[in-house]
Structure 1
Amino acid sequence: MQLLRYCVGLDISKDSLQVCLSVIDADGRVVVKGSTKVANKVTTFGQLVQWVTRHRKLDDLPLRYVMESTGVYHEAVAWFLYQHDQAVSILLPNKAKHYLKSLGYKSKNDKIDAQGLARMGLEQQLTLWKPLSKNIYSLRMLTRQHQRFQELKTQCRNQQHALDYSALGDDFLVKQNTKLLAVYDQQLEALERAIQQLIKDDEVLHLQVKRLIAIKGLALLSVAVLIAETNGFEGFTNQRQLVSYAGYDVIENQSGNRSGKTRISKKGNSRIRRILHLPAFNAVRFGEPTCQALFERVYQRTNYKMKAYVAVQKKLLLLAYAVWRHEVDYNPSYFMSQSRIGKKIVPTSGTTQDQSTVVGLSFG
């Protein structure tokens, strides 16, 4: 029996790690080699590696660790394994959940989940995880804090509106809400300054952000969220992966003669869709050529403005991805001219590039 590779499934909770080591052979059979449980603490992660080494009889076979992204509880062990040169894959919980259902398990517990993750890592080609850089990790915490405060501010304003129009007002509550709104405004301004300073202190990040905010509709905060939530667009090899990650991929509902509604999946990072909502309006309002043309085309075809604005959101995401990935300055007039295909172009940075090197031709 020829063995091919090992995989360690980790079912992670706040306090513990349920571990399962499995191996697959050339015939596709998966065999569990051992299971254990360790505490979810940095001091015990070394014991985890030692346990895997003892039960892994063939050191020359590839080994991978597979886990779900469970809030922040998986981050410590993922960082530890990555720093010790271990291959790590992190899955979205819904993807792992549907895979386990497909195996026909009727029961559910930590041990079964760990076995399922190990089996999934053996049977599928999963993407290797790469951690955020320190600055992008800090940027993500700042932008998410900004979102939380903005949501609290909106909630407070709605409460204030309800008090203003209620039959019996309460001056004490009105004063409290007024003070809270002032605090939220102060903290939001402080967060925006911190985001701006972090980007300014990183020379590479500052240059890339400067290129992105040249796209009409995208401001500093929206660009910061895009960078933070996509890890600087790291790990995306094509546009389809990015579109799916953000939840803009299209779901069809058709069978035989029946044709249901076609919509976006929304199975992705909701923070990206949230931050691109207002920039899409601004891109059309202020005449971003590519976005405005797309809006008019989709609106004319569907007669739904929001469908057209969602298409513009997707367009802005892909434009940002193109500019970031190829490190070129944004030239809005270029995307409006299909007659330039195959010719030389001159980006605004002054360097001459072949048309094929500047992405975005397929965004229309």
Structure 2
Amino acid sequence: MTSFLRYCVGLDISKDTLQACLSVIDQTGRVSVKATTKVVNKPVGFASLLTWVSRHRKLDLSLIYLMESTGVYHEAVAWYLHQQDQSVSILLPNKAKHYLKSLGYKSKNDKIDVQGLSRMGLEQQLPLWSPLSKNLYALRLLTRQHQRLQELKTQSTNQQHALEYSVFDSRFIDKQLTKLVSVYEAQIDALETAIKELIDEDPILKPRIERLIAIKGLALLSVAVLVAETNGFEGFTNQRHLVSYAGYDVVENQSGNHSGKTRISKKGNSRLRRILHMPAFNAVRFNEPTCKALYDRVYERTHIKMKAYVAVQKRLLLMAYALWRHEVKYDPEYLANRAEKDKKIVPTSGTTQDQVAEAELSYL
């Protein structure tokens, strides 16, 4: 008699609907699809999803819900399931995409995606999702609104500059632009105050964010954006995933005798790269030990300042991730002390994955 091990519900989420697939795996590793359905992406649909699952869940086995982090559309159902004491796992989209490719799927549609997710949840031991704080979502709304207003302010000041040097000027338009800039500045100040108050009132976020602010170059707003856009670094199991998510992963262009430019992919969250632009300049300017040494090393090798600053941006991101993940205070001399210790250690075997991960943090 076949013995089954556990269930998984894969969820493919769009703005309006949830495509669900319930699958089960047996002791031989064979995955069977038990049922599929589609519900609306609203609380009434979430309730009907639980009813549907209980109706088709014939055996008392463990159950997990697996979904991708699709913008903001997955958040409501993830919170609902978590509040109903259900096990939830959330994947970065590129992980599911590469898994489906490994299965040999050439077509792509909702049915294939949701079956692939349910199969992935059964065949792999995925980490469970646990929301750090509801304030992270409020923080993300505030920081994104701050960015929008900052962009509008910059646009208006650029228009003023162009008008000033134009052949034909207009006092009326200049007056309107001046008023707009003052309105944007007032709203930006109000948003920065709201961000600070939200962090101060959260006993979980406040101490963690204070550790990151200790890094020279990273201010409160920069750290708030990093934390909000990565959802408290939730779902990133290693540095490579975070680097890829931010678009700092390196893309080579080389084949045979051809050797093109090596650059970062920029296929990731552009808000992370945008907010790290000025902190990288400040970290070098204020002689943050690790970042300054990195900048000098890369600039000496490439003679390209911006490439060195991009390397510093990546370093700041990884430093913030390490401090957040391990919940330790920032030590400016940590890497220097670590390098001295490593010189005294004679390796006795091949390089391990842990050593590779450490090397990635200290390479640039």
With structure 2 as the length reference, what TM-score do the two structures score? 0.83
Secondary structure in 1 matching 2:24:
strand
Question: CA offset at residue 206 of structure 1?
Answer: 3.2
What's 2:353 paired with?
none
**What does the per-residue CA deviation read over 1:58-102, in whole Å, with 9 as the maximum and x for residues that have no partner?**
222x32222233332221111111122222222344544555566
Mapping of 1:174-323 within 5 angstroms? 174-255=174-255, 258-323=258-323
Q: Which residue does 1:363 correspond to in 2?
A: 362
Whole-Å separation in 2 of the counterparts to 1:124 and 1:267:
26
What is aligned with 1:40? 41
Distance 1:298 1:184 in 2: 38
Q: What CA distance in whole angstroms lies between the structure 1 residues aligned with 2:127 and 2:251? A: 23
| Other structure's SS at 1:141 match | helix
Aligned partner of 1:12: which letter? I
Deviation at 1:107, TM superposition (A): 6.0
2:115 partner amino acid: Q
Shift of 1:2: 4.1
**Aligned-partner Cα distance in 2 for 1:234–1:184:** 32
Q: Is the 8 A contact 2:315 2:361 kept in 1?
A: no
* 1:183 Cα deviation from its structure 2 partner: 1.0
The answer as to whether partners of 2:133 and 2:204 remain within 8 angstroms in 1 is no
SS of residue matched to 1:85 = coil
Identify if the C-alpha distance between structure 1 residues 56 and 181 changes in structure 2 by more than 3 Å, giving closer, same or farther.
same
User: What corresponds to 2:18 in structure 1?
Assistant: 17
Is the CA contact (8 Å cut-off) linking 1:335 and 1:360 kept in structure 2? Answer: no
Deviations along 1:178-203, one digit per CA (max 9) or x if unpaired, are: 22111111110001111112222334
In 2, Cα distance between equivalents of 1:4 and 1:311: 46
User: Could you tell me how far 1:291 is from its partner in structure 2?
Assistant: 1.0
1:7 aligns with 2:14: no
Cα-Cα RMSD? 3.0
Residue 347 (structure 1) aligns with:
none
Aligned 8 A contact 1:10 1:117 in 2: yes
SS of the counterpart of 1:22?
A: strand
Query: Is 2:88–2:129's contact at 8 Å kept on the other side of the alignment?
Result: yes
Separation of aligned partners in 2, 1:8 and 1:329: 40
Q: In the alignment, which residue of structure 2 is the partner of 1:53?
A: 54
Letter in 1 for 2:222: S
- Amino acid of the residue matched to residue 281 of structure 2? F
Q: Which residue of 2 aligns with 1:104?
A: 105
Task: State how far apart, in whole Å, the 1-side matches of 2:163 and 2:74 are.
Answer: 43
Give the Cα separation in 1 of the matches to 2:255 and 2:59. Answer: 49
Aligned: 1:79 with 2:76: no
Secondary structure of residue in 1 paired with 2:287: coil
User: What SS is found at the alignment partner of 2:149?
Assistant: helix
Residues of 2 paired with 1:87 and 1:216: CA distance?
39
Instruction: Label 1:166 to 1:128 Cα distance change in 2 as closer, same or farther (>3 A).
Output: farther
Alignment-mate amino acid for residue 82 of structure 1: H
Seen in structure 2, the aligned counterparts of structure 1 residues 328 and 92 have a Cα distance that, compared at 3 Å, is closer
- Name the counterpart of 1:141: 141
Unaligned stretches of 5+ residues in structure 2 = 343-357
CA deviation after TM superposition for structure 1 residue 329, in Å:
3.6
In 1, the alpha carbon distance for the partners of 2:288 and 2:213 equals 12
Question: Would the alpha carbon gap of residues 139 and 67 (structure 1) be closer, same or farther in structure 2, given more than 3 Å must change?
Answer: same
The whole-number CA distance in structure 2 between the counterparts of 1:250 and 1:185 is: 37
Change (3 A) 1:336 1:29: closer
Tell me if the contact between 1:322 and 1:360 (Cα under 8 Å) persists in the aligned partners.
no
User: Residue type of the partner of 1:130?
Assistant: S
| CA deviation string 1:109-129 (max 9, x = no partner) | x33433333233334444432
How far apart, CA to CA, are the structure 1 residues paired with 2:197 and 2:15?
Answer: 33
Shift of 1:286: 1.6
- Determine the C-alpha separation between the residues in 1 that align with 2:57 and 2:292: 58
Shift of 1:27: 4.8
Percent identity of equivalent pairs: 70
Task: Give the secondary-structure state (helix, strand or coil) at the position aligned to 1:363.
Answer: helix
1:234-285 Cα offsets, whole Å, 9 max, x none, are: 4545433433333323334445555443333333332222111111011111
Q: Which residue of 2 aligns with 1:355?
A: none
Q: Distance in 2 between matches of 1:91 and 1:326?
A: 21
- The more displaced of 263-272 and 139-148 is 263-272
- Tell me how far 1:133 sits from its aligned partner: 0.4
For 1:189, the aligned partner's letter is D
Q: Which shows bigger deviation, 4-13 or 212-221?
A: 4-13
Partner SS, residue 227 of structure 1: helix
Q: Is the alpha carbon distance of 1:193 and 1:17 closer, same or farther for their aligned partners in structure 2, counting shifts above 3 Å?
A: same
Q: How many residues align?
A: 347
SS in structure 2 at match of 1:341 = helix
User: What's the CA shift string for 1:3-60, capped at 9, x where partnerless?
Assistant: 3432222222333222222233445443321122222221232221111121122222
AA of the residue aligned to 2:291: C
Check conservation: 1:280, 1:312, Cα contact below 8 A. Answer: yes
Q: CA deviation at 1:317?
A: 1.9
> TM-score scaled by structure 1?
0.83
